[in-house]
Structure 1
């Protein structure tokens, strides 16, 4: 379930600011918590319980008294608990509420729960949220936590002695059997729901049956009507099939007639198209001469356009050559100018080089001493030395006015008062425990008296009802009458019933049933109350009042002791504060002297290295050198950049001049070739250059070409159309189609009428078939639910405890888990008691909750004993064995709660040495299984046998802890 990692306490009990690191145990998982009485050992268990649940480790400890009495009003009291469950790590932090002086209400409790396994994730930020979040993680509430993980002093045997009813919630949480209880409740609810669903299904089926389309209506049960309508739908399907066959025959005949008509109409249309296309072909043949003239004119226009483009290209090339020549001359002049500027810049570079050695010397000084400028501590060194000297003088003046004090006498006084207070607190706690036990005993007696009184009342009413005279067979007669029908066999005598007798008097029948129902109710109320009887409580009341008087006297004495203790503690705290102040001033004076010496040495080192009398002189020299270096570097960089730019510009100009020279040479050859080509083309086409200068409308060329293309497309289209029509007609002639159209119209009317009839019958059949499918599915569900209703009712009765063993399903499962737990617990109990005692589960049937009671088998007497007959030491061993057995079994279960720790407060003092040795061996074996085991005890033998000890040490009013591992 849980392994602690760290426990942090602030103003919690006797711990002011304490942290317990459980990882200091390392490999040792069995450890003893040791310390004198009142030192705060049990407070550690309180802290873990309070961090998780906001409660102390026992019911009788006041959680509001856990805040340290020595905490100031402004101090926060809190506990922070870091723990591990499986592979997850959590941190629970809770602040304790308290009442400030002058206030009537308590401060608010604060709580936070984090998951820190990977990243810190907040699970709960308020106490209300924390309760559910802690339960989700721990899987147990605070009472179950006390019974199976923290075994507090005086309470660890409660689980052993608890009744079946008290054990059930603990075992339910540990073994996750709540699902069986939910199953019992679910079956009860399902039985009622099934009855409602069966009735609802029956009504729905009758509604669907009424929607069947039929000329006749069926009667009888749902199943009878369903079968009758099935036969009717089959007849409707047969009629539909006949209409479909007739419609199919007429539709096929109509399709054949339509095809014949369409073929004749198509041939007539082709013949008309052929005649029109032949007329178009004759017109195109007549236009052939005109189209040839257009072709000649297009050729002439194309040659003229080509030669004009050649002449224009020659003129453009001449213009480009002139531009390139002008640009070449301008670039040559720019290059000469840039070369003169470059020579001037190089002379300036030579002059700057002569100042380089002086600049390098200043740079070395600047860079070597830069840290004195960058680091602020050197700038403030002189003023810091002066301030430290002034503070030294002030502290020495304060030390002369303070003297150390001796706190030994007050500490002895505090210790004496504390011991008296602890003794009174123990007595008060004992009285409170006795009062609580007596009050619980009286409360139990009062509850039993109430149950006994209720039982007596129920029995009296039942006896009165039994005296009422009623006809015993009246209900049987009524039930038999409901199953008799005229003309059917009697279920008793198997004779045919000719006449059904009348029902008994309804009023007498109702009165009889009402009395019988009330008797059954009273018997069910009396049955669980059989074990209750009356108990006298006057003596218990007197003992409680006497103990309360004694408790008041002890409380008054403790209050007086607290007042004396608080006065002494205040004086002691004041003396401690004076001593702490004196020591603090001494330490501060030594620290200042050391700091003054260190700062002075640093200042001397600074002046020696820089050669300056003070920091101001050094700072002025450094900045002057830094500025001179920056000016030199700026000038040098600018000259270098300018020289580089001029060299780049000169190279660029040289490249451009070379490129233009090459272009002029290449263009000369191209110009001559173009001139010769133009002259040759003019001579070839018998044209002059003057003809090229004339303006010709070239848009006419596109118009003429479009006209030629249009004519050619028309010729091709007409020829293609003629070939296609001649192939389709294939020698067929014109046909008169009017008689064929009349025959098709008559067939279409017949098919349309059959189609409508077919559609109407088809819709009726499909609707009816769909309804029958729904009815059939619903009928199966209805009949299955009727059967299930009977099975569920019987199963619900068995699982709810109405069986020969009076065991519910959940208690039956829990008895298995308990028996497995007792098997493991018996292994340890046998060793601890030298094979004398053995746990057994009571198997006798009892009223109410049963099956989870435990008894002890004593091999010495060969008899079963009640748990309460064991001695104090034997009870401790039995409780310990049961707790460890429970831990073992829960850990074995897959998916169960992992019980990884157990903490035991006292109880070992009741054991003799031999039995104690056996108990220690059992705990060591438990440690080997990987569980952490923590013990609180004053028994000396445990200190020598357990290698890991958590010492709780007290100075009288404040406690501290430390781990010691051998």
Structure 2
């Protein structure tokens, strides 16, 4: 897996679109490059963009556990752990894009983007989008964001956690890991390797064992609360149950007999009361029958009187019908005449409106014509003939103006303005080219002089550096020998030497330094001082050499760029003479162009005046024609109005004659039938006759109904009398009928007591059966629970614990062993001196010093630079462990350099330079000045105003 390019836009402090292309120079050839810049400039934003495009996650949000909503734009809010927070405030959209080489050898592009509604800076944030494309086959992957992220994991070969442990290294975790205690090491290993499952397994086993033991205890408690009845007591209860069952049957029979007797007493009483009630109803029906017979006679007499009255009004009805026919005939003529009169009046009103509108239109046309005449200097209204004379004069002026402007246009065309402008542009470009050539020639001469000076200084510096390094190697050997001579072991050995006895190291019997330890120490300090001075001088010369090489490369770049620009400008030259000739021709062209522009402005002014005169003439012509036509319309409308007014007068006389005849007929008709129509009078008579017939029929039905009810009551009274006689015979056979309710109540109480006793005994016997069955089930359950609890107890004893530490330490011991195998492999490339080793039986680490005969050393004895080397080896080992044999060719280191001293930093840089030889492209993010100076290829992030940063690639 290899990162090919990173692109981003409007993320955090970086505004606008930027690109870091690892396939183009200088990054393509650089094995190691620095991402440098001041704190807060946005260096880590590149790594955030890398993770956003590939995993929709960002490392800076990894530790955000609290869910807090922050204010966005307007009333909108966004969670503080939302990756959309990376969009720069004040921008409407942003993206992160990564090109990478997948595990199948294809080149892919993943594009992550976010925008606001309607692409406005005050819009709401929309959900982020993801696009994935195969650059080799032009295939675009389809699916939801979740499906695309899963596809990216398959193409990259790493999950997000593995990616951050394999491609993005953080040494501070391993620096802490080296010197932490066992439990802390186990937790760090879990975090770094993603093997926290062993802690969860240990905690789950502990929880399962605890739950199993609690379940066994719960089953024991359930068994303790169940009670069983003894066998003897159960037999006694069974006998009591049989006796109570017999007693209950006898009580039920006796109660049924008593209830039958009580029913007879109650039925007799009810039938006697019903017999009395029916007698009263029969008397009431007799009275009602008499009243209905009287009403029936009255209804028959009223119907006879109504028919007599109807025969008396028949003559008036016949005359009313004759008058209604005459009135209807006159009414039709009246309506027709009225409609004709209204139509005539409407036509007159419509014609009056048309005439008025035509007059108003004529007045408006005359006013428009007067306004146009006032525009030409005429103050008083004029006749149409006079207006036409003025119109002909205006048209003659128009023709004169058109002819004069056409002559100006011919003069403009004779100038040939396009060729003049084109010649002016070409001459200006040629003049600028000659000026640029002169300036570039001077710049090239200065660059060549500077290159010669820098080459001489660089050669001298190389020579001086070689001499200093040779001297440093000599002094270093003396320093190492002296350092060993003052070591603790050598001092202890020297103190044990005796004059005349052979030294176990060299065999000499003379020991000159045995008594002169202070002289040895002074000599070592002098050598150490001389060594440190030589190291400082060598480092200073080396830094000066690097600066000179950088300046020399910069000057050569400038000289090459100037040479290319000069060649380009010389090819583009024109044969236009010297600069003075070009300047003279440009002045002449400027004079001609100015004269053309003045004439063109005069032509434009006159053309506008001609257009206004033409429009005025056309307006006058149209208004004259309109006025003549409108005058004709007004005259015609007045003639039509007079004709229509005569028609209205004739129709009005005819309408008055018909209205007088109709009023006489209506007066004669109003005295007959009270003004009602004959049909209405006949309908009223028919309704009245129908009402009388219905009332008569109703009276007859009421008489029949009363008679039927009275017959029914007589039949019911006979049946009730028979039932009373029968019940009286049964009542005589009952002893003490008045005491029956009390006797029944006592029997019910006795039966209820028997039922309660029987229910209690049956409940106890049934509970005994249930308890036996429950006890058997609980015993079986207890056996199963105990079997499960024993298994969990054994497993808990081995690896279970409440905090997960027991199994975590065991499992991470194997993980640590595997991690050290990979780390030592990388450490052999970085430093041949050290190997890491696990302290047997613990998670502690120790160091094997190969230069000191494989001496075992504690990690606390390591210097800062040595600790960095070992931390880096551990981080690379984790990278190999997490990569699952996947070749990872890109590596980014984001921490670990700010706290190193100069010597440790030099050692770290040498280690990184060796690491790039393994085929990896290494990116180092740091603001340490010395580290940035040692790495020639840099991605520099510069702070600007308003919290904005810009990105440049130098090298």
Could you say which TM-score interval applies, normalised by the shorter chain?
A: 0.3 to 0.5
Normalised by the length of structure 2, the TM-score is 0.40
**TM-score (norm. length: structure 1):** 0.39
